[in-house]
Amino acid sequence: MLARGLLCRLAAEAPKTSTTDVAQLARLLQRSAISRNARSLPPAYALPRAVNTVFAEMRRPYATATATGSATEPTATVKKAVKKATAKKAAPKKTATRKKAAKKAAPKKKKTKAAAAKKTQKPKKVLTDEEKRKKLIKELKERALRQPVSKRSVAASDMFIRDALGGSEGRTTTRIGEVWAKFRALTPAEREHYNHLATEENAARAKQYKDWVHSHTAEEIRVANVARARLRRLFKAEQKKPPKNTAKIEDDRRVKKRTPFNNFYTERLASGDFKGIEAKEWLKLAWKEWKALTEAEQQKYETQA
């Protein structure tokens, strides 16, 4: 009965055992049955103990292989891979995001002449005669330059009036008559004092004027004089008083070149033919004589210029 149960147990465990281990199983069973422990036990306990010993011996290779496989050290390649994976996980994520590369601006297409011609141009505003005049005057004034002081010299009366009306308030036109009366009543000593003040004022103005002229180039002064002369002609044609800063600028750096006609009338004046004749008249006579000369005769005076 006991032997039958053991055989059934062996039959149940047989599918788990490969056919190559059948001989080993028989040997183990025989060795276990005759072992010292089995001989010392009663027959009822000896056979089950032998079977258990056999099963233990059969399972030992699988357990040993499993334990050995789990305890096998990883290779160097596996260690490197594990280290890299650990380093990647441990490294903190970079918070700074890379700036996106600026996109290159696409090259602008060159406009062809045909495309430019297609664009409708705004019609220019047609200026009236008055608008043209104002525009011209504005341009001439810009070229004419503004001088800091006037070339006009002051007199003793100007200095007296300035002192008399310097601290007055309100309208001064009503007091001009009184001031003139006081100036006429000045003694010679008092008038001499104001003459001295006027002389000093004129000297200071002349220096300031010269410094202003020299602050510009000779060419700038020439252009300014041309613009001023044109302004004077424009206002004279309209019978209007020309504005300020239209008088000719005196520049001592500009050397006046004598013309052939200057040499001619200088020679005619030296002859004495124009004595007792007004300058306006003898200039007309000299001009007529000049125009009557041949080119060869005029060439003589050109070499003297």
pLDDT digits (tens, 9 = 90+) for 211-253: 999 999 999 999 999 999 999 999 888 878 888 889 999 998 8
**223 and 136 inside one domain:** yes
Distance CA(168)–CA(241), nearest Å, equals 30
Q: Is residue 44 part of a domain?
A: yes
CB 274 within 8 A of CB 285: yes
Domain boundary among 69, 100, 121: 69
pLDDT grade for 66, boundaries at 50, 70 and 90: very low
Q: What is the DSSP letter of 58?
A: H
CB 74 within 8 A of CB 82: yes
Share of the chain above pLDDT 70, in %: 58
Q: Is residue 231 part of a domain?
A: yes
Torsion, Cα 7 8 10 13, to 10 degrees, reads 170
CB neighbours of residue 11 within 10 Å: 9
Condensed to tens digits (0 to 9), the pLDDT of residues 158-172 reads 999 998 887 655 566
Q: Is residue 275 part of a domain?
A: yes
Domain boundary among 48, 69, 90: 69
**195 and 281 inside one domain:** no
**137 and 232 inside one domain:** yes
Mean pLDDT value across residues 103-117: 58
Query: Which of residues 234 and 13 earns the better pLDDT score?
Result: 234
Transcribe 64-115 into DSSP letters: HHHHHHHHPPPPHHHHHHHHHHHHHHHSPPP-SPPPPPPPPPPPPPPPPHHH
Q: Is residue 253 part of a domain?
A: no
Question: Tokens for 95?
Answer: 């918070």
**275 and 229 inside one domain:** no
- In total, how many domains does the chain have? 3
**233 and 264 inside one domain:** no
User: Among 38-47, 123-132, 165-174, whose mean pLDDT is lowest?
Assistant: 38-47
Query: Which of residues 263 and 115 earns the better pLDDT score?
Result: 263
**136 and 174 inside one domain:** yes
pLDDT higher than threshold 70 for residue 176: yes
Number of H helices, E strands in the chain: 14, 0
Cβ contacts of 164 within 8 Å, gap of 6 or more: 175, 179, 182, 183
pLDDT the model gives residue 96 = 47
Distance CA(178)–CA(239), nearest Å, equals 34
Share of the chain above pLDDT 90, in %: 29
Distance CA(46)–CA(42), nearest Å, equals 6
**134 and 221 inside one domain:** yes
Question: Tokens for 171?
Answer: 């309208």
CB 241 within 8 A of CB 235: yes
Condensed to tens digits (0 to 9), the pLDDT of residues 261-293 reads 999 989 999 998 888 889 889 999 999 999 999
Q: Is residue 252 part of a domain?
A: no
Distance CA(283)–CA(289), nearest Å, equals 10
Mean pLDDT value across residues 4-13: 53
Place of tokens 């004598």: 258
pLDDT higher than threshold 60 for residue 153: yes
Q: What is the DSSP letter of 15?
A: G
Give the structural domain span for 30.
2-69
**139 and 216 inside one domain:** yes
**226 and 295 inside one domain:** no
Condensed to tens digits (0 to 9), the pLDDT of residues 67-87 reads 444 445 555 665 565 566 555
**279 and 193 inside one domain:** no
pLDDT higher than threshold 60 for residue 89: no
Query: Which of residues 15 and 239 earns the better pLDDT score?
Result: 239
Q: Is residue 45 part of a domain?
A: yes
Mean pLDDT value across residues 119-145: 85
**210 and 298 inside one domain:** no
Q: Is residue 181 part of a domain?
A: yes
Mean pLDDT value across residues 1-7: 51
pLDDT grade for 104, boundaries at 50, 70 and 90: low
Domain boundary among 25, 42, 69: 69
Q: Is residue 21 part of a domain?
A: yes
pLDDT higher than threshold 70 for residue 105: no
pLDDT grade for 143, boundaries at 50, 70 and 90: very high
Q: Which helix (H) or strand (E) holds 301?
A: helix 295-302
CB 25 within 8 A of CB 17: yes
**141 and 218 inside one domain:** yes
Cβ contacts of 248 within 8 Å, gap of 6 or more: 225, 228, 229
Distance CA(24)–CA(135), nearest Å, equals 128
